[in-house]
Amino acid sequence: MQLKRMGGTEWDVPAYLITLKNYTKISPEIERTWILNHENKLILDEISQGSEVFYNNKLDLRQGAYLTPCPNKLVALINHAYRDKTNADLPYINITDLTDIEEMKKINFAIEPLIQALEISGLTYSITLIIIFCASLLTKPFVILTGLSGSGKTKLAQAFVQWICQDKSHYRIIPVGADWTNREPLLGYPNALNPKEYVKPDSGVLDLIIHAINQPDLPHFLILDEMNLSHVERYFADFLSVMESGEEIPLHSGEIENGVPAKLKVPSNLFIIGTVNIDETTNMFSPKVLDRASTIEFPVTQDEMKNFLGNIKDINMDALTGKGAGMARSFLDMAANKDFATDDAVKAALVKFFGELKKTGAEFGYRSATEILC
């Protein structure tokens, strides 16, 4: 590398032209977005705390930083991104000396960072409610949030998915219509006039499921807002069925050419969150729906209303985006862990609980017992 001082520039300080020699031009060239993205945010922040780097905390290029150190972890991250695109390592790099990026990305899922992020964004929820919400998702991939209109059901679901997802391709927020009488708003339909065409729904739900199938190592979320404006058993019947059977949902005969599979497997990395209100405009749930979901009620106490009125803040949902993306894989691993509790005391308590509920005709079945022990 040679430095040559330049004159007549628009800068008030000396400027230098840097001529590089004896370098290898790589192909394809590394794009900035391969490195500076929300998926890598936690790792990039960690690297920047220990060294001067060429980017800022907004993941933009840092103006004036033309020659900066490249720590081992940053070299490893760049090489990892390059390998993902080309199946080859960067030249002149000793791979054995590099940090294992996959291990760096495995940040254990924890509630505390989510609570902190919610506070920063201006959203206020009790710690107990946040824990119950996360535990319910980890236990069962179908959660129903119910409570007063305006109590924060949709906002909590939206906040969580924005926090844990890399970008919007990993979640959809869909307002349910009162006219939904079949599965078409969610899964689309074959074009009867053109047997080779499948009409995808405008909601993007089908694309989300296919995306989840293609990225099995990351969680995906479908939020159905006002889920009971229409009869859930009508438009959601296919999903309810495969939750029980584990079978595939048939979509078409197999002659479609636009990338839609003939049968759709609902993947284990797809989590469904429904928000509901109970009033004269909505429909009640059948036991078939409630038996397959974890249901959380959003109560609002007088003290909570008092605290809210005394501390009203502007809500900044953008402050949540991607902040927990580094924990997404750990969250998915925890959800996949279905080890049974073997403590005899737990089983004895469950039997007593069953007996008390049976007195009122509200006892649970084998599925519920299994899910409680998982």
Average pLDDT taken over every residue of the chain: 87
What pLDDT sits at residue 342?
Answer: 66
Q: 266 with 242: CB under 8 angstroms?
A: yes
What pLDDT sits at residue 216?
Answer: 93
Over the stretch 195-204, which tens digit does the pLDDT of each residue have? 888 999 999 9
**SS3 (DSSP) at 146:** strand
Identity of the highest mean pLDDT range in 80-84, 255-259, 262-266, 343-347: 262-266
List Cα–Cα distances, 208 to 37, 48, 212, 262, in angstroms: 20, 33, 6, 16
Q: How many helices (H) and strands (E) does the chain have?
A: 16, 11
Enter the pTM of the model.
0.73
Over the stretch 3-23, which tens digit does the pLDDT of each residue have? 566 666 666 667 777 777 788
Asked if residue 258 has pLDDT above 70, the reply is yes
Over the stretch 219-246, which tens digit does the pLDDT of each residue have? 999 999 999 999 999 999 999 999 888 8
In which band, very low, low, confident or very high, does the pLDDT at 344 lie, cut at 50, 70 and 90? confident
Q: Rounded CA gap, 336 and 333, in Å?
A: 5
Asked if residue 189 has pLDDT above 80, the reply is yes
Over the stretch 109-168, which tens digit does the pLDDT of each residue have? 989 999 999 999 999 899 999 999 999 999 889 999 998 888 889 999 999 999 999 889
